[in-house]
C-alpha cells in the first residue's frame, strides 16, 4: 500500500487506527524512528520487520451492539474513551470473515425479533459479538454476549447463522449483565461445537477459548516468535523460563530445542489453556506455574536455582525491578525481552545493562499496522565475570 488515502470512512470517529494519515512506508519509518529514539542508545536497531500486509490482519474482532437515536440497530466499535458506538460494517484491520458474520447477526436480530442491550437501564438482549478466527486451520468461533440468559429460538438462530456462515465451527453464549466496560461476563454456554477453536502456528497447535490471550496478528506473530526463538538460541542442555507466558505459546515453540521449559503466568485461565496446549502437542519437558512472575523469579533466585535462557513478554507496563533482580541473580546466559511498549522496554533495559547484561540485538516488528503500537524483541547476553 502506498496510497495515503486510508479507505476506512469511520477512521476519524473510531480512533482505533492512529496512523491513517501516513502511507504504509511512512508508518514503518515512523515506527523505526520511534524505536531508534527510545532504544538506539542500547545498540543498533534492526530494520523493522513487516508482513507487508497492513490490512485485515486482526484474528479477534469484537463488535458492540446498540441503537441510534432514531432506533436503528447498529454494530461497531466504541468511539475512543466513550460509550458511543461508531457503526462499522467493514473494518480495514479486522478479519473480513469476522466482519461479515457480525453484519449477518445484526440483520438476523430483526428476523428473530431479538433486541439489543441498553447499557443505561440494563434491558435488552444482544450486547456484543466476539469472533475469533484461527488462520492456520480456518476455524471460526462466535461468542454472543447477551444481557440475559434467556435466548428465544436459540436453536433456530444458531442453525440459521450456521447455514449462512458454514465456516463457523463453534458458537458460545456468554452472559454479561454487569455495568462494566469488559466485554465478557463470567457465565457461558456452548451452543454449538467444542466451545473453542484450534490454530496451528509454527507447526504447533494452540487452543483458543473466548477469554484466553492470543496474539492478534498471526502472520506478524510468526515474525515475532521466529525472532525470539533465533535470539534465544536454545541448546539441548538449556533450562528456559518463559515469563508472562499467556497460553504458553513462546515456551511451547522453544520446547523442541530445550532440556526443560518453565512457563510462568498469572492468569489461571491462561495457565489451564497452556497446559492443554502442551498436551495436544505431546510436550513432556514443560512445567506450568500459575503465579506472579516477579514473586516466582524472586523465589527461584532465593533458592539458588539457575536458568540458561529467560524469555519475558510482559504487558505494556513492563516488568518490575524485583523480577529483573531475580533474573540477574539466576545468571541466564541470554535474556530475550519481547515488548509491546518501547518506553517501558527502554526503562527495563537500563536496569539490565547496569546489572550484568549487554544488549546484543534490537528488532522491531510491525504487529499492528495503522496503529501507533510498536513491538520489539531484544536479545541480551551476560557480560562475563559479573
Ligand atoms: N507471551 C504470551 C503472552 C503475552 S501477554 C504470548 O505471546 O501470547 C502478557 C501476559 O502476561 C498476559 O497473559 C498476562 O496475563 C500476563 N501477566 C501480566 N502480569 C503478570 C504477572 N505479574 N506475572 C505473570 N504474568 C503476568
Cβ neighbours for 79, distance < 8 A, ≥ 6 positions apart: 13, 14, 15, 85, 86
Please indicate, yes or no, if residue 211 is contained in any of the structural domains.
no
Q: Which three cell numbers stand for residue 152?
A: 428465544
* Domain identity same for 154 and 283: no
- The residue whose C-alpha atom lies closest to atom 3 belonging to ligand 1 is 246
Q: Give the pLDDT confidence score for residue 69 in this predicted structure.
A: 87
Listed residues 157, 172, 201: the one ending a domain:
201
What would the DSSP string read from start to end of 205-243?
A: EEEE-SSS---S-HHHHHHHHHHHHHHH---TT-EEEEE
Binding pocket residue ranges, ligand 1, CB within 6 Å: 213, 215, 244-246, 249-250, 264-267, 270, 292-294, 313, 315
Is the predicted pLDDT of residue 3 greater than 70, yes or no?
no
Question: What is the per-residue pLDDT for 159?
Answer: 98
Same structural domain for residues 284 and 364?
yes
Q: Mark whether 194 and 268 lie in a shared domain.
A: no
Q: 201, 74, 167, 66: which is closest to 120 by C-alpha? A: 66
Please tell me the predicted confidence (pLDDT) of residue 5. Answer: 67
Of the residues 162, 177, 201, the one at which a domain ends: 201
Rounded average pLDDT over 234-253: 97
- Kindly give the distance from the C-alpha atom of residue 158 to the centroid of ligand 1, in angstroms, as a whole number: 34
Domain extent for 355 = 11-53+217-382
| Position 82 confidence tier, pLDDT thresholds 50, 70, 90 | confident
CA of 319 to the centre of ligand 1 (A): 10
**Are 243 and 377 in the same domain?**
yes
At 246-292, the pLDDT tens digits run 999 999 999 999 999 999 999 998 999 999 999 999 999 999 999 99
Whether residue 190 sits in one domain with residue 234: no
CA of 161 to the centre of ligand 1 (A): 34
Number of domains in the chain: 2
List Cα–Cα distances, 302 to 78, 148, 297, 307, 310, in angstroms: 46, 49, 8, 13, 16
> What pLDDT was estimated at residue 155?
97
Asked if residue 1 has pLDDT above 70, the reply is: no
Which CATH number do you get for residue 370? 3.40.50.150
- Evaluate whether residue 45 is within a structural domain: yes
- If asked whether residues 175 and 83 sit together in one domain, one would say yes
Residue nearest to atom 22 of ligand 1 (CA): 292
> What was the pLDDT predicted at 4?
59
Is the pLDDT reported for residue 11 higher than 90?
no
CA 368 from centroid of its chain's CA atoms: 11
Q: Are 293 and 266 in contact (CB under 8 A)?
A: yes
Q: Report the Cα–Cα distance between both ends of the chain, in Å, rounded.
A: 48
Give 98-134 pLDDT, tens digit per residue.
Answer: 999 999 999 999 999 999 999 889 999 999 999 999 9
Classify residue 94 by its DSSP letter.
Answer: B
Arithmetic mean of pLDDT, 316-343: 97
Residues in the chain: 386
Q: Which residues are catalytic?
A: 340
Give the strand order in the sheet containing 85-87.
Answer: 85-87, 73-78, 60-67, 126-133, 140-146, 168-175, 187-192
How far is it, in rounded angstroms, from Cα 54 to Cα 67? Answer: 31
Amino acid at each position: 500500500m502506498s496510497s495515503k488515502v486510508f479507505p476506512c470512512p469511520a477512521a476519524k470517529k473510531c480512533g482505533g487506527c492512529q496512523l491513517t494519515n501516513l502511507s504504509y512506508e511512512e508508518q514503518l519509518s515512523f515506527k523505526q524512528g520511534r524505536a531508534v529514539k527510545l532504544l538506539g542508545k542500547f545498540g543498533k536497531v534492526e530494520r523493522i520487520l513487516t508482513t507487508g500486509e497492513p490490512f485485515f490482519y486482526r484474528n479477534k474482532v469484537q463488535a458492540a451492539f446498540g441503537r441510534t437515536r432514531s432506533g436503528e440497530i447498529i454494530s461497531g466499535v466504541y468511539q475512543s474513551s466513550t460509550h458511543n458506538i461508531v457503526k462499522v460494517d467493514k473494518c480495514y484491520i479486522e478479519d473480513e470473515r469476522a466482519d461479515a458474520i457480525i453484519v449477518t447477526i445484526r440483520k438476523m436480530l430483526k428476523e428473530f425479533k431479538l433486541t439489543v442491550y441498553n447499557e443505561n437501564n440494563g434491558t435488552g438482549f444482544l450486547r456484543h459479538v466476539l469472533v475469533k478466527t484461527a488462520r492456520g486451520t480456518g476455524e471460526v468461533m462466535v461468542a454472543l454476549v447477551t444481557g440475559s440468559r434467556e435466548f428465544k429460538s436459540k436453536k433456530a438462530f444458531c442453525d440459521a447463522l450456521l447455514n449462512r456462515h458454514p465456516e463457523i465451527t463453534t458458537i458460545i453464549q456468554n452472559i454479561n449483565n454487569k455495568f462494566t466496560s469488559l466485554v465478557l461476563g463470567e457465565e457461558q454456554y456452548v451452543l454449538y461445537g467444542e466451545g473453542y477453536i484450534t490454530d496451528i502456528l509454527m507447526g504447533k497447535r494452540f487452543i483458543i477459548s473466548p477469554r484466553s490471550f492470543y496474539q492478534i496478528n498471526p502472520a506478524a506473530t510468526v515474525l515475532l516468535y521466529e525472532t525470539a526463538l533465533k535470539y534465544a538460541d536454545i541448546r539441548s542442555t538449556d533450562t528456559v523460563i518463559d515469563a508472562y507466558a499467556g497460553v504458553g505459546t513462546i515456551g511451547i515453540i522453544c520446547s523442541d530445542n530445550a532440556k526443560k521449559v518453565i512457563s510462568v503466568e498469572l492468569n489461571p485461565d491462561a495457565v489451564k489453556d497452556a497446559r492443554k496446549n502442551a498436551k495436544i502437542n505431546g510436550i513432556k519437558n514443560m512445567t506450568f506455574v500459575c503465579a506472579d512472575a516477579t514473586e516466582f523469579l524472586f523465589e527461584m533466585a532465593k533458592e539458588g536455582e539457575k536458568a540458561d535462557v529467560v524469555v519475558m513478554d510482559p504487558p505494556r507496563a513492563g516488568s518490575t525491578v524485583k523480577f529483573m533482580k531475580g533474573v540477574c541473580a539466576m545468571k541466564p546466559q541470554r535474556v530475550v525481552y519481547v515488548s509491546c511498549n518501547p518506553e517501558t522496554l527502554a526503562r527495563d533495559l537500563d536496569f539490565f545493562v547496569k546489572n550484568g547484561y549487554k544488549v546484543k540485538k534490537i528488532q522491531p516488528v510491525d504487529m499492528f499496522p495503522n496503529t501507533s503500537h510498536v513491538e520489539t524483541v531484544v536479545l541480551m547476553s551476560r557480560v562475563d565475570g559479573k
